[in-house]
Structure 1
């Protein structure tokens, strides 16, 4: 079976979806399912070598922008378009936050969802032509539902199933604001009819998007995310002093500001002697002001010397970072579709404390590797963290329980096997309906 996975890149920072898609492609190939990842919009940035086979960037971000804004560029020759798809140029442009900002991209998101009726019809034709030249894949896998506008033309010209991963798009769509948020949701519900099957990264998110996209039960399955376990293992479990950790993008949506507030609250209580804070993860130029504000907050409270911030770590450094923590907490400001950092921490034997919403309750139930607190409640957050930070035995037991559960249920091999099961069922002659979830 040959699969082409179309994944939007970020250009200049690590993206959880890119990391996940890249790991999935590697594992599918290892299992004999020939898979090629093709970057869209911008170059992919992953914490391991990208499995994209040095493929060209399709649906290039600059071309998409120019075709949205200026009618002339909807008719330019391919040789000129290729100049604008140069990876170095796109990386340079991606440093300008406006190019990948949700509010700036409202018009382009809506246009892309309209498919051949949108302003990027020329890019869709180029993409389909490339898929034909590649050799007619058996399945096309779209990385997220914002790409659903591609499905109709791909199916019309290639006659193959088009599947679509669901992994956190609702927050982006909701952030577009009036009038684009409602318009994009409406367009998405319309083009969803062209997609054969949606594969959610968790049962929670499958149910959420099934409701918001008005999808029938048979159009949504769930396959849990998984990680590659190489390099992971029991943490150093520092308890003297204990270390409260955060590992995600260093920006408000992931709740770094709440964690800083909670850390200050814990320090002021003086109940956890010597407590340290370590915050690591992706940071873009647009995040630097926010990060400085968190450091200023810590400085004003007198605790900056007890905090450490590290940005854009390699895969190996990320694992070492996680192993240096006592507890991890990423208090997201929204209901997370999965939270790859949870299973990464647990794979290191580090327990987690997460908000009781989104996919987190299911992950805690499946792993037994942490505790839940009331979302956006700093006091309850501090109380819950205190239970683990003050009880070394409990933290160790939860961390080890979580590590064993991840080794059993949340590996990249488990994810890839679940995806292959879905591929085979979709490709089966006469099988036009999938009623049960796979891999969960």
Structure 2
């Protein structure tokens, strides 16, 4: 199949959705498909070979200015080419602009309005580019916030269009009213024209129909998968040195670093506690620096500052080395996370996890057997779960081995590609009779 797969860039951040889309495109290509991965908003940043097109549609700078200025909506083509230049996007990324979902409500709704929105010119550019390419058999959108493209793409090319669902409800719930209700109404209306929706977890497959108002019979599960290259099997012996608790995710309140730090404080309160440390890795956005400073101050006030380390954002080799240095990983998110790639990466390296029993965490841990589930939003329960693994190295080793085997059996890139390939094939088969009838 010839596949056009759109993917949403996240600026300078490694984002789970970008990583998943890039891994999927590479895995589908390895299976013999002709995949064109096209970034939207910004170039994508991945920690493995980036297979995306060296061009960005719906340039984030242009989209922003078109939202706020009619002059940009009427700008001639030569000015559009200027704003679409790579150096403009690089300059915008280097500024590390704070992004608050509440300030993006109007723009979210405008993009969902498609040709009726302020970004109509961007749709025209995309359609013209697709028209200049060899025909595609299938087009896939990275999330429901781009469903405003479904109508124009369907009218222009008549090919099946799918849409991945990766957890955009968290963003939609934050943009506030009236934008939230408008966005959901536009998603429901546009969903009629999409052929299939692909939630990335069973949890999200159960949640999405009610939340988005999309019929369940249009849903097909497209489970997560990771590129296992470089991820090693469990260690034959425990790590030397102190017991190490790790965190690998964005540093943001919803990811629960403050809960993990409180659990670590409780863990250290035991008189029998030996040497330990808490090491944190991940992207820290400008808007969350104050949040992290409060956490750091608390750790110092508790006398734990010397055991607490933030090592920043990591590339692939650094990430794998970091994971291999851990005895346990925990990212106690305060919301129902639909993905959890960081769990798969930890378990792929034989590191057990301790996670709240919520969202996709539950199915990942239960499917692989690679960790312990505890009560959500409860530092005491989290501390108990971590302590269980600290006290029992044999259990830690056994869960690590089960997790590593479970990820390889259920969550490999090949497994993900086969599932998505089946959905694309179904979409193409469903569409062909209708096209033949029209002919």
Same fold (TM over 0.5): yes
SS of alignment partner, residue 269 of structure 1: coil
SS of alignment partner, residue 338 of structure 1: coil
- For 1:316, the equivalent position in structure 2 comes to 317
- For 1:257, the equivalent position in structure 2 comes to 258
- For 1:307, the equivalent position in structure 2 comes to 308
CA distances 1:117-143 after superposition (whole Å, capped 9, x unpaired): 111111111111111112221111111
1:355 aligns with 2:356: yes
Distance 1:355 1:95, change over 3 A: farther
Q: CA deviation at 1:284?
A: 2.7
Q: CA deviation at 1:292?
A: 2.2
Alignment of 1:258-297 (within 5 A): 258-297=259-298
CA distances 1:374-425 after superposition (whole Å, capped 9, x unpaired): 1111111111211112111111100100100111110001101111111111
Q: CA deviation at 1:291?
A: 2.2
CA distances 1:16-50 after superposition (whole Å, capped 9, x unpaired): 11111111111111111111111111121111231
Q: CA deviation at 1:113?
A: 0.8
1-side partners of 2:304 and 2:353: how far apart?
23
1:118 aligns with 2:111: no
SS of alignment partner, residue 147 of structure 2: helix
SS of alignment partner, residue 296 of structure 1: helix
2-side partners of 1:83 and 1:272: how far apart?
60
SS of alignment partner, residue 56 of structure 2: coil
- For 1:136, the equivalent position in structure 2 comes to 135
CA distances 1:240-291 after superposition (whole Å, capped 9, x unpaired): 4211111011221211111111111111224431121011112233333322
Q: CA deviation at 1:101?
A: 2.9
Distance 1:20 1:430, change over 3 A: closer
Alignment of 1:106-255 (within 5 A): 106-236=105-235, 237-238=238-239, 240-255=241-256
Number of aligned residues = 432
2-side partners of 1:71 and 1:225: how far apart?
41
Q: CA deviation at 1:96?
A: 4.9
2-side partners of 1:378 and 1:132: how far apart?
54
- For 2:67, the equivalent position in structure 1 comes to 68
SS of alignment partner, residue 50 of structure 1: coil
2-side partners of 1:108 and 1:338: how far apart?
25
RMSD of aligned alpha carbons: 1.7
Q: CA deviation at 1:97?
A: 5.5
- For 1:436, the equivalent position in structure 2 comes to none
- For 2:437, the equivalent position in structure 1 comes to none
SS of alignment partner, residue 103 of structure 2: coil
- For 1:366, the equivalent position in structure 2 comes to 367
Q: CA deviation at 1:163?
A: 0.5
2-side partners of 1:399 and 1:432: how far apart?
49
- For 2:400, the equivalent position in structure 1 comes to 399
- For 1:6, the equivalent position in structure 2 comes to 6
SS of alignment partner, residue 258 of structure 1: helix
Q: Is contact 1:426–1:432 with CA below 8 Å preserved after alignment?
A: no
SS of alignment partner, residue 39 of structure 1: strand
Q: CA deviation at 1:431?
A: 7.4
2-side partners of 1:431 and 1:193: how far apart?
18
Distance 1:391 1:20, change over 3 A: same
Q: CA deviation at 1:303?
A: 0.6
Q: Is contact 1:272–1:386 with CA below 8 Å preserved after alignment?
A: no
TM-score, normalising length: structure 1: 0.95
1-side partners of 2:324 and 2:234: how far apart?
4
Q: Is contact 1:43–1:91 with CA below 8 Å preserved after alignment?
A: no
Q: Which runs of 5+ in 2 are unaligned?
A: 435-439
CA distances 1:159-207 after superposition (whole Å, capped 9, x unpaired): 1111000001010100112221222122211211121110010111011
Q: CA deviation at 1:327?
A: 0.6
